[in-house]
Structure 1
Amino acid sequence: MLVALFALQLGSLIAPAYACGCGAMIPDRNQHIGVDRESSAVRWDGRREQIVMRFTVRGTAQRAAWIMPVPGRADVELGDAELFDELEQLTRPEHKDRHYFWPRGDDWPFAGGASDGAGAPQPRAGAVGVVGRERLGPFDVARLTATDPKALSGWLEKNGFELSDGLAAELQPYVEQKWEYVAVRLAPDADGTTLRGELDPLRISFASERLIYPMRLSRLAKTPQSLGLYVLADHRMEPRDDIGGQTPEVTFAGPIEPEGAVAELTGDDGPVYLTAIDQSFPSPSRIDGDHELTSAAADTPYREVVYHDRILTVGGGIPVWFLTVAGVLLAAVGSVIAVHVQRRRPAARPAA
């Protein structure tokens, strides 16, 4: 899912509240838009890369443009809205009970009742070439080539949008590498309404011998950013380096049997390897490039485990510690009584 996404108002940046994304979001003049969350899934088979993104947006914008740099000629289509729900189910943590013997602060007799032990963690002066354009649901998609950022800025301005100087500068490395761009105009179906809520996912695919996830545009964000990414490939995948963020964390890794929307994305009947990665960027200005993901040294599976701590009980919910203490006390009392009785028993008289 789950990535450098920005909303620009009159050329100034409004950073998303949750996720950074692999593109830049630009609203109409005098309007603003924010991206609360972007979920991203990547499928790579060694030759072709597919990126599916779903935005959850808010703000006052009735139209917005989103720009994503890509290393080659891209195809764009609508994605399946069910994909991310299925991926979340596949990567959900495993829940296990973990028992303890002695009572704790929430257990009787220290508190009124037993704890339910819900120990879950709390949780981017030439010409612009238009190589394709189509309408996909609420999206007007243009696939562009540009010889310099100024040309791209000019195209955006002709279409009613503005490109900030900072964003133009960050696009320069992509121009030097001869990357292309996907430019998407977002507009709700009904006139006079704003872009709000969860938008239809977009699926972008392009030829690539390396698994690249564009992140450089995230440098412009003014607040800490987070990356959430599902990667579907032949092996467990990991970022080559942290590109200026905290160490990427694998939250799930393992082979899966694709079904439904996941199978439609992978195009495979057999198993594929799914890796879920989270990464935080406390200081986005330190981001120094795009993510390149490579095969890990081994396909070691991993699933997060959430432990529910529960006091050890037997039939009817009786705490074992209570029975143990009670048993020890009864045994002790019994021993004391036995000794007392033995002492009071009259001594036997010797036989005559």
Structure 2
Amino acid sequence: MFGQRRPRRRTRLLAVLLILTGIQLGRIAAPAPALASGALLPGAGRQLTVGREESVLRWDGTREQIVLRLTADGDADRAAWIMPVPHRATVALADPVLFDQLHTLTAPVHRTRRHFWPEDGDWPLTTGSATSPGPPGAGAGAPRVGVVDRRRLGPFDVAQLTATDPGALDGWLRSNGFPFPPRLDTALQPYVADHWEYVAVRLAPATADTALHGALDPLHLAFASDRPVYPMRLSGLAATPQSLGLYVLAAHRMEPRSAIGGERPRVVYAGRLGHPAGELGELAAGTPYLTAIGQEFPYPSRITADHVLRRAASDTPFQQVVYEDRLREVAGVPAWLLTVAAALLLAVTAASLTAVRHSRRPPSAPPSPPR
């Protein structure tokens, strides 16, 4: 009997290994959902990754505005996205020029810093490699899902919804062509409990069979809010690391209350605006202080809350400075080399003069013989 058990054990072990391999291959083959502050999901059988999320958050004390732009990559030609909001929102298209203005305004200042002695990368120390800096709810008895508005905005199909049941909201989205992950109803539960509303968006490119790629058209949302809040909970469903760039316009310098599960938020720019023109000038009217915040989320599943912002301890301005280290030169020749050459020349000259003096001394007379 012992001899018969061994083949059976091998067969069972092989079956277990085949099952585990199949599960793993299924995970690899399945398209990983890519989520932003809302949730951005591709259609069936397609892949879509959100590599960058940029938003402008303007708060004047009673009303909040968010201009959101996502940078996507993949082969999906359809996708859906949802943003929870604390009160009824207005939705409109935004001008992408706004982000160009912000990028220019908050770009690091480049300065040259000279050093005397050669460092790694300078001749003759050329073994290292130089690195370049990187850039920076509803009451009882109401319908479980209410459609406040639904309309077309450019390439977007926008539905504004209310819900008293996360499962019913999830079902409405799916039955109306908004693809979302299986765990969405669980992730929406805190917003339903707090009686928030929702802006659901289906994205489609202007022409058929064109993949959603690069920076998507930005959307402008506005709603009442007694505190500046940026919804981030749904990003916890993402399967890939997330990157957030948040521009905050307010009366004073602002900061996040916590890291909400990501790396420590970093301020990349802070300053009082003068009189900017165009889109930025219109949005910044009455909120003249700009704080630019960057944050990385290597493990999105650790995101457990929304970003709530507060006034910083001071309005100290800040701008990144990128130093370019260069070797100090004189007429194209390293200053250290000229210094060393001059020192060697002085040493040789001094040695030569000493030798000449010794050679010109008269020979000393021989001692007199003893008498």
- For structure 1, list consecutive stretches of 5 or more residues without a partner in the other structure: 1-11
Residue matched to 2:262: 245
- 2:297 partner letter: F
Pick the structure with more strand per residue. 1
Answer whether contact 2:87 2:223 (CA < 8 A) is retained: yes
Q: Give a deviation string over 1:170-204, Cα, whole Å, max 9, x none.
A: 10110010000001122223344443333211111
Residue matched to 2:320: 304
How many correspondences in the alignment? 329
Q: Does 1:170 align with 2:187?
A: yes
Residue matched to 2:198: 181
- Shift in Å, 1:228: 1.7
- Shift in Å, 1:285: 2.1
Answer whether contact 2:170 2:184 (CA < 8 A) is retained: no
Q: Distance in 2 between matches of 1:107 and 1:195?
A: 44
Taking structure 2 as the reference length, the TM-score comes to 0.80
Residue matched to 1:144: 161
Q: Percent identity?
A: 55
Q: Indicate how the Cα distance of structure 1 residues 289 and 108 shifts in structure 2: closer, same or farther if over 3 A, else same.
A: closer
Residue matched to 1:283: 299
Q: Distance in 2 between matches of 1:13 and 1:239?
A: 32
Q: Distance in 2 between matches of 1:109 and 1:221?
A: 48
- Shift in Å, 1:346: 4.2
Q: Distance in 1 between matches of 2:131 and 2:74?
A: 36
Residue matched to 1:39: 54
- Shift in Å, 1:117: 6.7
Residue matched to 1:326: 341
Q: Give a deviation string over 1:50-77, Cα, whole Å, max 9, x none.
A: 1111123334433322111000110111
- 1:273 partner letter: Y
Answer whether contact 2:39 2:180 (CA < 8 A) is retained: no
Q: Give a deviation string over 1:296-323, Cα, whole Å, max 9, x none.
A: 0011222222111111112x21211112
Given candidates 218, 230, 245, the residue that maps to 2:235 is: 218
- Shift in Å, 1:209: 1.5
Given candidates 157, 170, 173, the residue that maps to 1:156 is: 173
Given candidates 267, 277, 282, the residue that maps to 1:259 is: 277
Residue matched to 2:18: none
Runs of 4+ in structure 1 off by over 6 angstroms are: 115-118
Residue matched to 1:66: 81
Answer whether contact 1:116 1:308 (CA < 8 A) is retained: no
Q: Distance in 1 between matches of 2:301 and 2:211?
A: 30
- 1:274 partner letter: L
CA RMSD of aligned residues (A): 2.7
Higher mean Cα deviation, 54-63 or 130-139? 54-63
Residue matched to 2:7: none
Q: Indicate how the Cα distance of structure 1 residues 183 and 110 shifts in structure 2: closer, same or farther if over 3 A, else same.
A: closer
- Shift in Å, 1:88: 1.1
Larger Cα-atom Rg: 2
SS of residue in 2 equivalent to 1:23? coil
SS of residue in 1 equivalent to 2:207? coil
Answer whether contact 2:59 2:228 (CA < 8 A) is retained: yes
Residue matched to 2:332: 317
Q: Indicate how the Cα distance of structure 1 residues 106 and 289 shifts in structure 2: closer, same or farther if over 3 A, else same.
A: closer
SS of residue in 2 equivalent to 1:135? strand
Taking structure 1 as the reference length, the TM-score comes to 0.85
- For structure 2, list consecutive stretches of 5 or more residues without a partner in the other structure: 1-29, 137-141, 364-371
Higher mean Cα deviation, 254-263 or 211-220? 254-263
Q: Indicate how the Cα distance of structure 1 residues 247 and 37 shifts in structure 2: closer, same or farther if over 3 A, else same.
A: closer
- Shift in Å, 1:94: 1.4
